Amino acid sequence: MTPVPTTPTKPTTPADTDRAIGFTIPARHARGRIVRLAPVLDTILAAHAYPAPIEALLTEALTLAALIGSTLKEAGGQLTMQAQTEGGIVKLLVCDYRGGELRGYVDFDADRLAEAPEDPTLFALFAKGYLAITFDQADTGERYQGIVPLDGDSLSKAAEHYFLQSEQIPTLIRVGTGALGQDGRVAGGLLLQHLPEGEDGRDRIHTRLDHPEWEHVAILGGTMKREELADSKLSLETLVWRLFNEETEVRVQGETRFVRGCRCSPDYIASVLAKFPPEEQRDMADEDGMIVVDCAFCARKFPVPAALEIVTPPSL
């Protein structure tokens, strides 16, 4: 038999998602991190069914949390980003990162959002808002927090201002979003920082915003297209190579993998409620004797039995 000719199938490139890599450029006294999220992002967003503007806002916030949080060296360290408003559509936005786990949610005024433009600006969403970034160190128990106004046109710009104002570290952040397959969302981010006294940095008072080494790195970083960051077919290593292939040395560091994190469970919630006196538990309970705890992060309800009433026997 004569074999039937077949058209060769082009091999598909696996998606490079839900991870981050770090890198340093020793000759430029700079470090960076690049991240891409997809399945973990969809899992978090799917729990809430947010309108498009709120979903886009939370997508950017989760990407920033992954970028900044994965720079923590301690495995148990935690980053928390919280954006609050005075009179804006968004009442509260919270994202956090711990050990590769991401979670986040947004509390907003649905009626006011319906009256807003289809693609509202950051000011329309937050009015006079503030971004707080908090680092909790697991080993020492220390906490560091910086608060900056939500100026500019994005959360990314506010995060840049945080590093410049609170850390005195020149920083470039770029975030891009796109679609991944049918009804899926993908987001990527790039963070670059200038460390003029070596890879780990020293006294930040020596930082110069106009240092020629930083200007060079920032210009190259600014050429990264947002659609490249969101292209899951491009590996993160490829993106780093595209930016800095003419440098004498680029050291790629270890990777971080991401999962959806929610610390809620019936046992955990029961342990928290157990710290309340029985009479307070009964006040919180419904007519069936259940305390229903609503987790804002995972949009799940956890019914936990209230403490049973203790009946004291009558005195003889």
Q: What is the pLDDT of residue 221?
A: 96
* 197/201 Cα distance (integer angstroms): 5
- E strand or H helix at 311, and its extent? none
Residue 15 DSSP one-character state? P
Which single residue is written with the structure tokens 């956090």?
A: 96
Q: What is the pLDDT of residue 304?
A: 78
- E strand or H helix at 265, and its extent? none
With a cut of 90, say whether residue 105 has pLDDT above it: yes
Looking at mean pLDDT, say which of 52-66, 135-149, 167-181 comes out highest: 52-66
pLDDT band at 180 (very low <50, low <70, confident <90, very high): low
With a cut of 50, say whether residue 178 has pLDDT above it: yes
Residue 8 DSSP one-character state? P
Tell me which residue of 125, 128, 131 sits closest to 112, measured CA to CA: 125
Distances (CA, A) of 39 to 48, 49, 59, 175: 15, 15, 12, 17
* 16/9 Cα distance (integer angstroms): 21
pLDDT band at 37 (very low <50, low <70, confident <90, very high): very high
Angle formed at CA 293 by CA 290 and CA 296, multiple of 5 degrees: 165
Alpha-carbon 46 to chain mean position: 16
Can you list the domains of the chain with their CATH numbers? 19-260 (3.55.30.10), 266-305 (no CATH)
pLDDT band at 8 (very low <50, low <70, confident <90, very high): very low
How much is the average pLDDT of 83-109? 93
pLDDT band at 210 (very low <50, low <70, confident <90, very high): low
Distances (CA, A) of 112 to 90, 116, 225, 290: 9, 6, 33, 34
With a cut of 80, say whether residue 220 has pLDDT above it: yes
Distances (CA, A) of 263 to 48, 96, 101, 150, 295: 17, 12, 10, 29, 10
Lowest mean pLDDT among 27-31, 138-142, 145-149: 138-142
The model carries a pTM of 0.83
Tell me which residue of 17, 108, 115 sits closest to 62, measured CA to CA: 17
The torsion angle over the Cα atoms of residues 50, 54, 57 and 62, rounded to 10 degrees, is: -30
How much is the average pLDDT of 162-190? 87
